Amino acid sequence: MSEQLNVPTMEELMAQGKQPDILFWVGSAGSYDDRAKKITRAFVKILNKANVNFAVLGTEETCTGDVAKRAGNEFLFQMQAMMNIEVLNAYEVKRIVTCDPHSFNCLKNEYPGLGGNYEVLHHTQFIKELIETKKLDIKDGVFNGKRITFHDPCYLGRANSEYNAPRDVLATLNANLLEMKRSKATALCCGAGGAQMFKDAEKGDKEINELRTEDALKTNPEIIATACPYCMTMMSDGVKVKEKESDITVLDIAELIAQSQNL
Amino acid sequence: MSYLPNILFAIILIGGIGYFVKNVKKLFRNINLGQDVDVSDNKPERWKNMARIALGQSKMVRRPVSGFLHVVVYVGFVIINIEVLEIIIDGLFGTHRIGLSILPTSVYGFLIGTFELLAILVLIAVTVFWIRRNVIKLQRFWKSEMTGWPKKDGNFILYFEMVLMTLFLVMNATDLHFQSLNSGNIISQFIAPIFSKLPETTLHVIERSAWWIHIIGILIFLNYLYFSKHLHILLAFPNTYYGKLTPKGQFNNLESVTNEVKLMMDPNADPFAAPAEGEADEVPAKFGASDVQDLSWVSLLNAYTCTECGRCTSECPANLTGKKLSPRKIMMDTRDRLEEVGKNIDANNGEFKDDGKQLLGDYITNEEIWACTSCNACVEACPVSIDPLSIIIEMRRYLVMEQSAAPSELNNMMTNIENNGAPWPYNQMDRLNWKNE
Ligand code: SF4
Ligand code: SF4
């Protein structure tokens, strides 16, 4: 048990006749995966600290259907999408933020065609906005001079051409940012995308996350930063396989920012 | 009798171009075997992409060495071909270097001089390309799909260009009149001495032979395109024009599915309602793709455009870790199958006769299809806007929705989503538990 977070649900706000400024889409990984839940909590701490008027769907949220779509199950995807859209539209949601680039991509690009039109932000974009509008004041300290390398999630980077927001946010930490040789548009996938997260890899001579971890290790980092719950799993496993857990931590950008604020 | 060469030339020219046109028609027909997609949107952006990516080679130069060499060959190839115009006029009308009688000598010299300079640069670039392929053995040219014809094809093109450029220079070097002008022979003047001991008549024979072989070579090259990865010099333009404009992560939503899902979710829908106009006699939709005809025509254009450069494969995480998947192979297989289907249609009076084969299974295996992480590295890497990922996804759709042939772990994942609204077997009611943990 840790300190109480303020996490209003849409239902509660609705009952009070209130409308939040933004909906936080937690996503399945952020709701159930033990490691990803920490990212979710870190992000909520940031939202609380910046006094953001937000809400979550809570038990009314269900899988975006993204992973079903990547696996080829268009039926399941559209069923999930239409159920979610019904709920989102009923609550008259206008703006959504999520820590999961896969949900981000799906909500932003694939929901509009099915009747779900929202402004969708990735949490790195939203944190950047909070910093720029002075709602969040990053005091350097904890990460001063730390060697941090950022792994671009495919569905944020290549898929949606967002390479700057995570880097801009990291830049506020006054850390020593290191780029891997393959970064931004040429970043190597962590291996989780396209439903790979949920199955064993096909026969090969290496796991993709190991290869990507090797990329990261070449920068000799103290911290590997990610911005996706699946990348988190993959990179953490990679660091374990390379037996580097004692030297290197893998952290989501939300966690880095929360820690820098002593949240 | 004196018209014989002109007539011969005309016949060769018409024959060469005629055969090419015939194959281009076939190309159009084959591409049109694909499913219709609406790509009539955003014309200005499409033109811009074409100008930037195909004409401006913006993606090629991301790899500076091969990019630079490619620009040399490309610019050289395009500009030197202006010379072909003169050759055709000379050939048809029996003139010799018609340009000289139209343009001032200095201008003509400037033009030919430029061509000569480019010719030698192309020769050098092509030689480096050959060395990269055959001596340095760059990895991406030695993957498993690059054996047999694709490997030979890559080298043939280089030999073709070497021979054509050499012929052009020899033709100029042995043209006494041209050499005597001493304008524009910046390269050929150094080749001329090699022939200087030969009698004038022999020189003339060499010059004429070089001239004839040069133009015939160009016509052969033109017709070689259809059978080669070199088709990209033409198709890169339409292909970049029709390339994907939406964010790379956005997959299309299948309309046929939307209709059914809406019916399922709408309690008031009348399942026996008459279908909307135009839908009545449509064949029931097949979900996804198992053969080339199920793919969009843009995917088929993609397949013909692929230069087999392997930039996609060299960035593919699956391929880099030893999996069977290679996005280049996906494109090559699609083209090979499409050619096979095309030949089948030719042989059966314009009707496709079931040959018991399809792209999925006989060319591309399920193992390849399931190894993809949908990371878009291949799409990003392709210098001519090819999208191998869309083909992979169409095949997954077929495997899942038509065949229920997903790997069992993925079936579990999908059952979880159906039952609990999450890819893991957790209770929907526990979704907010993280709040208090
Ligand atoms: S999208 Fe698939 S085929 Fe393309 S590079 Fe990524 S894993 Fe390879
Ligand atoms: S798909 Fe593009 S990158 Fe891949 S081999 Fe073909 S042309 Fe090259």
**A14 lies in the same domain as A42:** yes
Of B323, B376, B400, the CB nearest to A71: B400
Which residue, of A130, A159, A186, is where some domain finishes?
A: A130
Q: With 0-12 CB in 10 A as exposed, 13-18 as middle and 19+ as buried, what is A120?
A: buried
Residue A3 inside a domain? The answer is: no
Q: What gap in Å lies between CA B95 and CA B102, rounded to an integer?
A: 12
Q: What gap in Å lies between CA A150 and CA A173, rounded to an integer?
A: 13
Rounded to 5 degrees, what angle do the CA atoms A238, A243, A245 make? 80
**A233 lies in the same domain as A171:** yes
B389 lines ligand 1 (CB under 6 A): yes
Residue B369: pLDDT above 90? yes
Amino acid at the residue A165: A
**A256 lies in the same domain as A143:** yes
Give the confidence band of B284 by pLDDT, cuts at 50, 70, 90: low
**A123 lies in the same domain as A189:** no
End-to-end CA distance of chain A: 15
- Percentage of chain B with pLDDT > 90? 80
Using a CB cutoff of 8 Å and minimum separation of 24, what contacts does B354-358 make? Answer: B358/B290, B358/B291
Inform me whether the C-beta atom of residue B374 falls under 8 Å from chain A C-beta atoms.
yes
Give the confidence band of B260 by pLDDT, cuts at 50, 70, 90: confident
Closest C-alpha to ligand 2, atom 2: B382
Residue B56: pLDDT above 60? yes
Closest C-alpha to ligand 1, atom 4: B378
Whether the CA torsion A143, A147, A153, A154 is positive or negative: it is positive
Q: What gap in Å lies between CA B269 and CA B187, rounded to an integer?
A: 78
Which whole number is the average pLDDT over B201-224?
93
Interacting residues of B347 by C-beta distance below 8 A, sequence separation 6+: B353
Name every chain A residue with its beta carbon within 8 A of the beta carbon of B250. Answer: 105, 109-110, 159
Closest C-alpha to ligand 1, atom 3: B327
Q: Which ligand is nearest to the Cα of residue A190, counting in written order?
A: 1
The number of folded domains in chain A is 2
Residue B282: pLDDT above 70? no
Inform me whether the C-beta atom of residue A80 falls under 8 Å from chain B C-beta atoms.
yes
Inform me whether the C-beta atom of residue B434 falls under 8 Å from chain A C-beta atoms.
yes
pTM over 0.95: no
Rounded to 5 degrees, what angle do the CA atoms B111, B117, B120 make? 140
Of A59, A105, A205, the CB nearest to B432: A59
ipTM of the complex: 0.95
Tally the C-alpha atoms within 13 A of residue A108's C-alpha that lie toward its C-beta: 23
CB–CB contact B373 A79 (8 Å)? no
Residue A198 inside a domain? The answer is: yes
CATH (domain of A24): 3.40.50
Of B182, B56, B188, B59, nearest in space to B116 by CA:
B188
Q: What gap in Å lies between CA B145 and CA B161, rounded to an integer?
A: 24
Ligand 1 pocket: which of B334, B375, B394 to mutate (most atoms within 8 A of CB):
B375
Which whole number is the average pLDDT over A89-116?
97
B376 lines ligand 1 (CB under 6 A): yes
Which whole number is the average pLDDT over A51-69?
96
Residue A25 tokens read as 């889409």
**A93 lies in the same domain as A207:** no
B316 lines ligand 1 (CB under 6 A): yes
Please name the residues between 23 and 62 in chain A that touch chain B, using a CB distance below 8 Å.
26, 28, 30-33, 37, 40-41, 44, 56, 58-59, 61-62
C-alpha distances in angstroms, A241 versus A206, B80, B433? 12, 56, 30
Which residue, of A111, A130, A149, is where some domain finishes?
A: A130
Q: What gap in Å lies between CA B387 and CA B245, rounded to an integer?
A: 11
Q: What gap in Å lies between CA B366 and CA B405, rounded to an integer?
A: 9
Helix, strand, coil percent values for chain A (each to nearest 5): 45, 10, 40
Residue A155 inside a domain? The answer is: yes
The residue with greater pLDDT, B262 or B224, is: B224
Q: Supply the DSSP string of B93-110, one letter for each residue.
A: HT-S-HHHHHS-HHHHHH
* Tally of CB atoms within 10 A around B93: 11
CA–CA min distance B324, chain A (Å): 7
Closest atom of ligand 2 to B307 CA is: 7
Tally the C-alpha atoms within 13 A of residue A60's C-alpha that lie toward its C-beta: 18
Name every chain B residue with its beta carbon within 8 A of the beta carbon of A64. Answer: none
Which residue, of A80, A106, A130, is where some domain finishes?
A: A130
- Alpha carbon A127 to chain centroid distance? 11
**A48 lies in the same domain as A148:** no
Name every chain A residue with its beta carbon within 8 A of the beta carbon of B318. Answer: 202, 204, 208
Please name the residues between 54 and 113 in chain B that touch chain A, using a CB distance below 8 Å.
none
Which whole number is the average pLDDT over A99-103?
98
Give the confidence band of B291 by pLDDT, cuts at 50, 70, 90: very high
Of A98, A118, A127, A126, nearest in space to A230 by CA:
A98
DSSP B286: P
**A91 lies in the same domain as A126:** yes
Residue A140: pLDDT above 50? yes
Residue A46: which domain range? Answer: 10-130
**A190 lies in the same domain as A145:** yes
Inform me whether the C-beta atom of residue A213 falls under 8 Å from chain B C-beta atoms.
no
Of A32, A78, A161, the CB nearest to B426: A32
The residue among A67, A73, A89 with the most chain B CBs within 10 A of its CB, best to mutate, is A73
Residue A1: pLDDT above 90? no
Q: What gap in Å lies between CA A42 and CA A36, rounded to an integer?
A: 10
Of B384, B272, B252, nearest in space to B328 by CA:
B384
Give the confidence band of B190 by pLDDT, cuts at 50, 70, 90: very high
Residue A163 inside a domain? The answer is: yes
**A44 lies in the same domain as A82:** yes
Q: What gap in Å lies between CA B338 and CA B15, rounded to an integer?
A: 26
Amino acid at the residue B58: S
Q: What gap in Å lies between CA B200 and CA A236, rounded to an integer?
A: 78
Q: Helix, strand or coil for residue A176?
A: strand
Q: What gap in Å lies between CA B38 and CA B42, rounded to an integer?
A: 11
Q: What gap in Å lies between CA A185 and CA A219, rounded to an integer?
A: 18
Residue B397 · residue B288 · CB < 8 Å: yes
Residue A234 inside a domain? The answer is: yes
- Percentage of chain B with pLDDT > 70? 96
Of A4, A74, A208, the CB nearest to B373: A208
pLDDT score of B172: 94
Q: Helix, strand or coil for residue B16?
A: helix
**Helix ranges restricted to H, chain A:** 10-15, 27-32, 34-49, 66-70, 74-90, 101-105, 123-132, 164-171, 208-217, 229-241, 253-260
Which whole number is the average pLDDT over B184-193?
92
Ligand 1 pocket: which of B313, B331, B364, B378 to mutate (most atoms within 8 A of CB):
B378
Residue A4 inside a domain? The answer is: no
Residue B290 tokens read as 């198992």
Residue A5 inside a domain? The answer is: no
Of A4, A76, A212, the CB nearest to B418: A76
Could you tell me where the beta strands, DSSP code E, fall in A84-196?
95-98, 119-122, 147-150, 176-178
Ligand 2 pocket: which of B228, B230, B305, B328 to mutate (most atoms within 8 A of CB):
B328
CB–CB contact B320 A211 (8 Å)? yes
Q: Helix, strand or coil for residue B323?
A: coil
Pairing of strands A22-25, A54-55: parallel
Ligand 2 contacts (CB < 6 A) are B 306-312, 327-328, 331, 381-382, 384, 386, 388
**A103 lies in the same domain as A161:** no
Which whole number is the average pLDDT over B112-119?
94
**A208 lies in the same domain as A152:** yes
Residue written as tokens 């043209």?
Answer: B175
Of B264, B397, B437, the CB nearest to A74: B397
Nearest chain B Cα to A9, which residue? B432
Residue B276: pLDDT above 60? no
**A202 lies in the same domain as A164:** yes
Which whole number is the average pLDDT over B285-290?
91
Number of A/B CB contacts below 8 angstroms equals 220
Q: What gap in Å lies between CA B303 and CA B394, rounded to an integer?
A: 15
CB–CB contact B431 A32 (8 Å)? yes
Residue B228 tokens read as 């080669």
Which whole number is the average pLDDT over B70-81?
89
Give the confidence band of B435 by pLDDT, cuts at 50, 70, 90: very high
Q: Helix, strand or coil for residue B310?
A: coil
Q: What gap in Å lies between CA B286 and CA B289, rounded to an integer?
A: 8
Inform me whether the C-beta atom of residue A73 falls under 8 Å from chain B C-beta atoms.
yes
Q: What gap in Å lies between CA B203 and CA B176, rounded to an integer?
A: 8
Pairing of strands A223-226, A249-252: parallel
CA–CA min distance B409, chain A (Å): 5
Residue A167 inside a domain? The answer is: yes
pLDDT score of B280: 47
Which whole number is the average pLDDT over A214-232?
97
